[in-house]
Each structure stands twice: as C-alpha cells, then as structure tokens.
C-alpha cells in the first residue's frame, strides 16, 4: 500500500507551532500581519485569499486586505504596494496572481519590499537562494517548494542522492524547487522537464521522485511511473465530471498511478495546504527577524 502524504495533517501541525510562536511575539509587543492584494474577482483567487485570512485568524496573525477592482491600473496597484511596504503592521504580504491583462506582474513583484515578500518570489530573495547552496537562509523562501520538502521530510522521504523529475518550469515551483532540492542539506539530483523536452515519459520512468506541475489532468500515467516512486502532485485542473455534471479539481497524476507508487500526495489535500502553511511561516519568520527573536 502506498503512503498517502497528507498535507492537511502536516499543515495543521505547522500551524500549531506557528500559533505558539505568534503568542511569543505578542508577548514582546509584536503582532505579525499578513497583507493580501487581490485585483479583480477571479473565483480561484478569491477563494485562495479567503483561505489565507482564515488561516491567519486561526493562529493569531493580523489580516490586512486590499481588494481592488479588475480595472485597476498598474500605477494604482503600485501605490498599494508602496502603502504595504511602509505599513509597520504588515510583516509580510502577497500580490495574488494572476493579475489582469495589461499589468506587468514582474514589475509589481520587483516593487515589493524583499523583507516583506511572503511568497519568497522577489528577485533579491531568489538571488539569495541561488547564492547559498548550503547553510541557513535568512530570507523568505518560495512557499510551494518549501511546502513540498517539508511534507516529504515529515514522512521520512530521504531525498539524498535521489533522482527527482520536475515537470513544468513555472516560477511557482518548477524553476524554484530545483534550487532547494540541490542544496547540500537535501542533495537530490534534479531533472527539469518542459514542453521542449524530448521523451518526457522516459525521464519520469527513471525518477525516484516525480514533482508534477504542468496543469494537465492525468498527465502522469501509471505505465510511466517507476514502481515505488514518490509522486508529488502540484498541478490543478478543473475538469467536467460526467457523473455529477459539475466541474471538479484534478491533479497532474492519474489516480491509477497510486497502485504503482510508494507514496503520493492527494490532490486536493496534499501540496495546497502546505503552500498556505509556508506562507504563514514566512510572515511569522519575518516578524521574528524584525523583533530580533530569530
């Protein structure tokens, strides 16, 4: 039987630890605050942001919300970024992606104070990750890769010397998880596959761990999985369910792979909760650094 890597359960433990750390901060007169900037009313983004603020309420982090209309200009959005950069009540914040057409997302991310970059995606913070191949890091880390590694570590999945196949080169995980997996504390060997990769299936079949983040439902097929491999399903697709007549979430890993795998993350309920938990950790850690408690 494959081990189910339960992101909900592990995220709950992370949040319990963070709640204690938040109490410690409050005892020193510091209240961590998470800011969110949401432009427009994309259904997925609205739900995700609401979940983040619910998490904050659970562990005692203050919520700072900026919900803007879809026709917000780039200049207006950058003004809000400036407000959060200067707000002492905000110890970390995110600008929810995707942004409406016409707004340069990279320019917006560049404008975020790196010390308040709750997503760990500012060029300065990514540069620090590139430069430091070992040892402690004192800058925010990308949430999804960090959540994946935390989840695998919790279940005792040893990545040292393992062959990891990453599917997808998006900035959220595909381009960033390799930086974390190849640090000396982890020491995995990473192959990154993308739309230009020839014979992706052969790379999947040789991998001890597969991190799927392409956003194509069922992309990883059972016949392409090495027996006993660990499958990390990050992709999210909405597909029509003939039985219910409704749209539902499907991951990149076909459910038939579970009979071949040694361990797998359910989707939903695997990587998603861990990503949210790591966002909270970045906010708390930023507050601890500010308070001199880190």
Catalytic member of 15, 52, 162, 226: 52
- Residues 20, 23, 25: CA angle, nearest 5 degrees: 115
**256 phi and psi angles, rounded to 5 deg:** -65, -20
Catalytic member of 119, 208, 224, 252: 119
Consult the annotation and say whether 169 binds a ligand: yes
CA 179, 92, 235, 41 torsion-angle sign? negative
Catalytic member of 15, 55, 96, 117: 96
The verdict on whether 119 is a catalytic residue reads yes
Enter the DSSP assignment of 2.
P
Consult the annotation and say whether 236 binds a ligand: yes
The verdict on whether 52 is a catalytic residue reads yes
Region of 218 on the Ramachandran plot (φ > 0 left; ψ -120 to 50 alpha; else beta) = left
Buried b (16+ CB within 10 A) or exposed e, 17-52: ebbebbeebeeeebebbbbbbbbbebeebeebbeeb
In whole angstroms, what is the distance from residue 95 CA to residue 213 CA?
21
The verdict on whether 96 is a catalytic residue reads yes
Decide: 164 and 208 in contact? Cβ < 8 Å.
yes
Where in the sequence numbering do the catalytic residues fall?
Answer: 52, 96, 119
| Binding region for NADP(+) | 168-170, 236
| Binding region | 168-170, 236
């Amino acid at each position: 039987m494959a081990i189910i890597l339960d992101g909900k359960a592990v995220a709950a433990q992370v949040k319990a630890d963070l709640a204690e750390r938040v109490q410690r901060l409050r005892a020193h007169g510091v209240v961590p605050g998470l800011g969110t900037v949401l432009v427009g009313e994309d259904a997925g983004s609205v739900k995700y942001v609401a979940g983040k603020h619910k998490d904050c309420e659970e562990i005692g982090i203050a919520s700072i919300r900026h919900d803007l209309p879809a026709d917000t200009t780039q200049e207006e959005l950058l003004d809000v970024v400036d407000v959060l950069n200067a707000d002492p009540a905000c110890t970390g914040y995110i600008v929810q992606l995707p942004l409406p057409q016409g707004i340069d997302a990279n320019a917006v991310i560049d404008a975020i104070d790196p010390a308040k970059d709750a997503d760990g995606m500012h060029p300065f913070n990514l540069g620090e990750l590139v430069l430091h191949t070992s040892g402690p890091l004192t800058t925010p880390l990308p949430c999804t890769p960090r959540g994946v590694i935390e989840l695998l570590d919790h279940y005792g999945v040893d990545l040292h010397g393992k062959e990891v196949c990453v599917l997808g080169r998006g900035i959220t995980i595909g381009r960033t998880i390799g930086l974390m997996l190849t640090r000396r504390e982890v020491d995995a060997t990473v192959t990154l596959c993308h739309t230009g990769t020839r014979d992706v299936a052969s790379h999947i079949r040789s991998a001890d761990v597969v991190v799927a983040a392409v956003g194509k439902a069922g992309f990883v097929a059972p016949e392409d999985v090495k027996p006993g491999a660990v499958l990390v399903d990050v992709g999210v697709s909405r597909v029509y369910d003939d039985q219910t007549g409704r749209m539902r979430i499907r991951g990149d890993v076909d459910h038939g792979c579970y009979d071949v795998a040694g361990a797998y993350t359910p989707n939903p309920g695997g990587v998603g909760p861990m990503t949210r938990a790591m966002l909270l950790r970045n906010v708390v850690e930023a507050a601890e650094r500010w308070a001199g408690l880190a």
